[in-house]
């Protein structure tokens, strides 16, 4: 359903004061409902965990943590997405201390640096991370007090999470109420999240219970998950987008979440769950969409499919899901036949992908945010949305555009209960982005007549020409990646030796399989001429000052963050 009549409509949900309140009330409301579907054996069947059991495990682990002397301390968690990862997070925040989620793809030296900067007292890790954690701890100047493995471990001096949960259970049975009755300061830091560091040294974002739960509560007014729907958790949980918008909002709304086994298992797990909701980054959804079109082409059905998609879009058949699902039943069967909502975030997505999925009968929306706002700032409603828009300002969040140009494009700033406390031990950086209660996002954007926010690009990455023209690299990259021959693109400004002006250069990673299919095997010089002709064609769609004047062809994919964003300012991404 997507109708303007829902412009001012909000879903009603209970108010929550903190994450402990969120878990406790959900465990009461949804006690015998499945909270999670987990795989005890890789490739095996999903096993359910009830909300009642979920709360018991959190309470037990939190009680044991306090007994170990970790009250008020910082505890790091690192590992692949798992039920135990979530239990650890909430066992820390809901009465013990401050959680420090770490990116499992960090090399040991970087992980050691963050652990020292965060002043961590204990680290909880998955079995797969054991070697990295051992290497990390060896590089610490001051060793952590406890090392806790989520699974069985043979290493001496290490603790086992399952045993700690059982020991905590016994403590509760003996009358220990230290965690269960712990008072929560909703204004104090409960989570220390390090940014992905795509533009330099990672900053520690301090979030409170109020920051996170305000985001969960207010976002739920725009997006409501049907009671019987299942979610599929795909993105890394250490990232605030997956954690707040899927895991915590799922707990709050009583959703059952299946833990995905990995990106290559998405379609299989989608069918097994069966999943009705999935959050993803643009690269995930764009790859899925291309695969659907490719399969239709291989079956000789692409022409017919595109014609029906056009009819679906024109007649707004997405407002009649039963009809459109019958028309595109092969697509829905491939996605498990239960998918009701895709939500894109983490970066801007091609609006054509959203329109495409919607015409196929899969509702899709996108949102905009940043870790510093826990994270959602604006999001489309599940009943009223625009494919190209980042969304409407989230309830409780005020957004302004400052220093706007003649087209209304300026820097996006916001304020509200979700704005972070600041950067950990970094008052200078904090003062740069938090001014009089307003979070200066560093993103450029504008509002349309209906109040939807559009994001143009990062302030730091804007290319400024000699005559004062602003070029958003993201916009040029969008045009380039519309080509079937270009998989990825990174645009930046260079100085033209002849004119001294700033011109646009694009680094491109090609889809050589498609090129070989359409043009045959090409020599290096012929390939370059082929791509030059393609870029010249694309340039015709852009104003003169935005056109690509130089380009480089990469042999390897761009280096990316764990949320699949290209590291824009990484030198290796510009030098190959």
**pLDDT 10s digits, 155-174:** 778 999 999 999 999 999 99
- pLDDT 10s digits, 544-557: 888 999 999 999 99
28 φ, ψ (degrees, to nearest 5):
-80, -45
Domain boundaries, the chain: 462-575
Cα of 208 vs its chain's centroid, Å: 19
- pLDDT 10s digits, 518-545: 999 999 999 999 999 999 999 998 888 8
337 Rama sector, left if φ>0, alpha if ψ -120 to 50, beta otherwise: left
Q: What is the pLDDT of residue 196?
A: 64
Q: What secondary structure letter does DSSP report for 317?
A: G
3-state secondary structure 368-397: EECHHHCCEEEECCCCCCCCCCCEEECCCE
Q: What is the pLDDT of residue 199?
A: 42
Contact call for residues 27 and 55 (beta carbons, < 8 A) = yes
Q: Which two structure tokens, joined as six digits, stand for 309? A: 């998609």
Neighbours of 495 (CB within 10 A): 11
| Residue of 169, 196, 220 lying closest to 22 (CA atoms) | 220
pLDDT over threshold 80, residue 399: yes
The mean pLDDT value for 168-182 works out to 98
Contact call for residues 457 and 472 (beta carbons, < 8 A) = yes
pLDDT over threshold 80, residue 569: no
The mean pLDDT value for 104-109 works out to 90
Percent of residues, the chain, with pLDDT higher than 70: 97
Architecture of domain 462-575: 2-Layer Sandwich (3.30)
Mean pLDDT of the chain: 93
Question: Would you place residue 122 in the very low, low, confident or very high pLDDT band (cuts 50, 70, 90)?
Answer: very high
Sign of CA dihedral 496, 502, 504, 507: positive
Distance CA 485, CA 518 (A): 9
Question: Would you place residue 476 in the very low, low, confident or very high pLDDT band (cuts 50, 70, 90)?
Answer: very high
- pLDDT 10s digits, 50-103: 999 999 999 999 999 999 999 999 999 999 999 999 999 999 999 999 999 999
- pLDDT 10s digits, 193-237: 998 644 447 899 999 999 999 999 999 999 999 988 999 999 999
Provide the β-strand partners of residue 458. Answer: 443
| Residue of 414, 423, 409 lying closest to 368 (CA atoms) | 414
Q: What secondary structure letter does DSSP report for 338?
A: -
Q: Who's near 20: CB < 8 A, 6+ residues apart? A: 93, 94, 95, 182, 184, 209
Cut 0.75: pTM above it: yes
| Residue of 448, 473, 491, 482 lying closest to 350 (CA atoms) | 482
Q: What is the CA radius of gyration of the chain?
A: 24
What is the layout of strands, in order, in the sheet containing 486-495?
A: 486-495, 502-510, 548-554
pLDDT over threshold 80, residue 573: no
Q: Token pair 């239709």 is at which residue?
A: 296
Between 133 and 155, residue with greater pLDDT? 133
Contact call for residues 88 and 82 (beta carbons, < 8 A) = no
Q: Peptide bond preceding 274: is omega within 30 degrees of 0, i.e. cis?
A: yes
Distance CA 104, CA 113 (A): 14
Q: Which two structure tokens, joined as six digits, stand for 368? A: 């905009």
3-state secondary structure 132-163: HHHHHHHCCCCCCCEEEECCCCCCCCCEEHHH
Q: What is the pLDDT of residue 501?
A: 84
Q: Which two structure tokens, joined as six digits, stand for 168? A: 């905590």
Q: What is the pLDDT of residue 575?
A: 62
- pLDDT 10s digits, 314-338: 999 988 888 999 999 999 999 999 9
Distance CA 536, CA 531 (A): 8
What pairing do the DSSP bridges indicate for beta strands 277-280 and 341-344?
parallel
Burial class (CB in 10 A: 0-12, 13-18, 19+), 462: middle
pLDDT over threshold 60, residue 344: yes
572 Rama sector, left if φ>0, alpha if ψ -120 to 50, beta otherwise: alpha
Contact call for residues 384 and 2 (beta carbons, < 8 A) = yes
For 517-541, letters b (16+ CB in 10 Å) and e give: eeeeeeeeeebeebbeebbeebbee
Sign of CA dihedral 341, 346, 348, 353: negative
Q: Who's near 428: CB < 8 A, 6+ residues apart? A: none
- pLDDT 10s digits, 245-267: 999 999 999 999 999 999 899 99
Burial class (CB in 10 A: 0-12, 13-18, 19+), 464: exposed
């Amino acid at each position: 359903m997507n109708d303007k009549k829902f412009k001012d409509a909000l879903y009603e949900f209970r108010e929550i004061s903190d994450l402990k309140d969120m878990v406790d009330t959900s465990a009461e409301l949804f006690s015998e409902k499945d909270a999670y579907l987990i795989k005890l054996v890789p490739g095996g069947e999903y096993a359910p965990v009830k909300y009642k059991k979920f709360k018991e495990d959190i309470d037990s682990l939190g009680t044991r943590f306090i007994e170990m002397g970790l009250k008020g301390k910082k505890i790091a968690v690192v590992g692949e997405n798992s039920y135990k990862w979530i239990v650890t997070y909430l066992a820390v925040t809901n009465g013990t201390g401050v959680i420090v989620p770490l990116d499992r793809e960090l090399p040991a030296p970087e992980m050691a640096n963050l652990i020292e900067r965060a002043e961590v007292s204990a680290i909880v890790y998955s079995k797969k991370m054991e070697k990295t954690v051992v290497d990390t701890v060896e590089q610490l100047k001051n060793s952590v007090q406890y090392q806790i493995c989520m699974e069985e471990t043979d290493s001496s001096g290490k603790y086992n999470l399952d045993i700690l949960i059982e020991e905590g259970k016994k403590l509760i049975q003996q009358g220990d109420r230290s965690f269960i009755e712990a008072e929560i300061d909703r204004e104090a830091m409960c989570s220390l999240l390090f940014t992905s560091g795509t533009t330099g040294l990672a900053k520690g974002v301090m979030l409170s219970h109020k920051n996170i739960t305000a985001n969960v509560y207010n976002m739920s007014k725009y997006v409501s998950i049907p009671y019987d729907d299942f979610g599929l958790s795909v993105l890394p949980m250490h990232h605030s987008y997956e954690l707040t918008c899927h895991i915590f909002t799922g707990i709050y709304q009583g959703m059952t979440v299946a833990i995905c086994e990995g990106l290559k298992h998405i379609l299989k797990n989608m069918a097994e769950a069966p999943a009705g909701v999935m959050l993803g980054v643009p690269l995930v959804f764009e790859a899925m969409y291309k695969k659907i079109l490719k399969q239709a082409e291989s079956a000789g059905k692409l022409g017919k499919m595109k014609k029906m998609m056009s009819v679906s879009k024109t007649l707004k058949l997405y407002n009649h899901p039963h009809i459109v699902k019958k028309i595109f039943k092969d697509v829905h069967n491939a996605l498990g036949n239960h998918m009701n909502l895709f939500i894109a975030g983490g970066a801007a997505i091609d609006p054509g992908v959203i329109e495409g999925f919607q015409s196929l009968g899969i509702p899709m929306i996108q949102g905009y945010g940043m870790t510093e706002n826990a994270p959602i700032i604006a999001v489309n409603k599940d009943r009223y949305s625009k494919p190209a828009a980042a969304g409407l300002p989230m309830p409780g969040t005020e957004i302004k555009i400052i220093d706007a140009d003649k087209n209304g494009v300026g820097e996006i700033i916001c304020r509200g209960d979700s704005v972070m406390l600041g950067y950990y031990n970094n008052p200078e950086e904090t003062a740069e982005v938090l001014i009089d209660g307003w979070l200066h996002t560093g993103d450029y954007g504008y509002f349309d007549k209906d109040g939807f926010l559009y994001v143009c690009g990062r302030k730091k990455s804007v290319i400024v020409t000699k005559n004062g023209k602003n070029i958003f690299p993201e916009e040029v990259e969008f045009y380039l990646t519309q080509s079937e021959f270009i998989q990825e693109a990174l645009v930046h400004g260079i100085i033209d030796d002849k004119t001294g002006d700033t011109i646009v250069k694009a680094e491109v990673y090609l889809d050589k399989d498609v090129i070989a299919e359409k043009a045959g095997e090409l020599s290096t010089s012929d390939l370059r001429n082929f791509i030059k002709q393609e870029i010249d064609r694309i340039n015709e769609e852009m104003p003169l000052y935005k056109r690509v004047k130089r380009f480089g062809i990469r042999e390897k994919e761009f280096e990316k963050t764990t949320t699949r964003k290209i590291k824009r300012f990484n030198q290796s991404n510009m030098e190959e």
